[in-house]
Amino acid sequence: MINSKMITLALLLAAAPSAFANNTGTATDGINTFEKLFGVTEGKRRNHTKGFCFSATLSPKNQNIQQYSNSNLFTENAQVIGRLSHKGGKYLAADNKPGEYGMGLSITTASNESHLMSMNTLDFFPVATPEAFAELMRAKVAGSAAVKAFKQGNKDLQRFKAHQATKTKALKPYEANTFNSVNSFYLVNDKGVKTAVRWSFLPQRQQELVVKPAQDFLFDNLQKNLASHSVTWDMVITFANPEDDVDNAAIAWQGQHQQLVAAELTIDAIQSEQDGKCDLINFDPMVLSTGFAPSADPLLQARRNAYAVSFGRRLAEQ
């Protein structure tokens, strides 16, 4: 019997049949290593396994962005179903330990277009290619000696580890974090002119820990903050400079860049995955509204393929 889950999966695969077919081996290999590294929680995502849903509104903020993109995201309010999550495949990940987090957005524009975003708190990715990422994951499964050997031969991972070592590891609630697109995209205007960008969602105000940290406290912390004030992120667009490597997500853009606060995301309410609507959303970052286009970054297509493999497996288990 055909059900809504099967229809959703069919639509997902139809979105990029040739690319999925051509790269399913690498994607399957990647998901297999996630399962070996973290185990499997049946019916759940293989990465960013722990999380919860929210509903929100994305509102335009600066009409100057419209000279770069004709997307309805920047002209009228859009409704959002989102998900906040822990990086990694541990369903029982501890909230009271500093970690890396993700934000997925399923945006429905005023013109009824879908636009998906999958962001995280990383400033850039540890490696530049799907093949290198698969090799890194296999090394993690094999153990620390294998990871050390891989790092010695990979300058991207060396740069990433050095950068991570400079960051302050402090416990913060989801709502206090900045979430980055990491990959690059293009804004496209009415004349078809493409402008390379990355974006980040920055908290508008300082968000505090207002619930005593425990194994599972981030949901309650956000709920309590919502009861006392708004929880809003600014969508900050960063425009590429001519020297920036647009197609390499393992390299941060250095120096001064033009930026524009294009919109703001305000949470209306939060829900558990059981009660919310985000569980069956596959946050494919290549599902874009009019006015956007993907870059040629190979990790974008790799993320789409891996998400599809993970999505199919967890649907089959539910």
Q: Is residue 157 part of a domain?
A: yes
Beta-carbon contacts of 51 under 8 Å, excluding residues fewer than 6 positions away, are: 83, 84, 85, 86, 102, 273, 278
Write the DSSP symbol of residue 157: H
Tell me, yes or no, whether 119 lies in a domain. yes
| Continuous H helices in 172-297 | 218-228
* Residue 167 lies inside a defined structural domain of this protein: yes
- Asked, for residue 9, whether it belongs to a domain, the answer is no
Domain count for the chain: 1
Q: Is residue 146 in some structural domain?
A: no
Q: How many helices (H) and strands (E) does the chain have?
A: 7, 10
Residue 7 and residue 28: Cα distance in Å, rounded? 21
Q: Which domain holds residue 91?
A: 47-127+153-306
Q: Give the per-residue pLDDT at 23.
A: 52
3-state percent helix, strand, coil for the chain, nearest multiple of 5: 35, 25, 45
**Is residue 27, in this structure, part of any structural domain at all?**
no
Instruction: Tell me if 115 sits within 8 A of 292, measured CB to CB.
Output: yes
Residue 42 resides in a domain: no
Q: Which CATH number belongs to the domain containing residue 57 in this structure? A: 2.40.180.10
Tens digits of pLDDT across the chain (318 residues)? 334 443 344 344 434 433 333 455 678 888 999 999 999 999 999 999 999 999 999 999 999 999 999 999 999 999 999 999 999 999 999 999 999 999 999 999 999 999 999 999 999 999 999 999 999 999 999 999 999 999 999 999 999 999 999 998 899 999 999 999 999 999 999 999 999 999 999 999 999 999 999 999 999 999 999 999 999 999 999 999 999 999 999 999 999 999 999 999 999 999 999 899 999 999 999 999 999 999 999 999 999 999 999 999 999 998
Contacts of 157 (CB under 8 A, 6+ apart): 126, 127, 136, 150, 151
Residue 313 within a domain: no
- Give yes or no for a contact between 39 and 78, defined as CB atoms under 8 angstroms apart: no
Token pair in block for residue 316: 């089959």
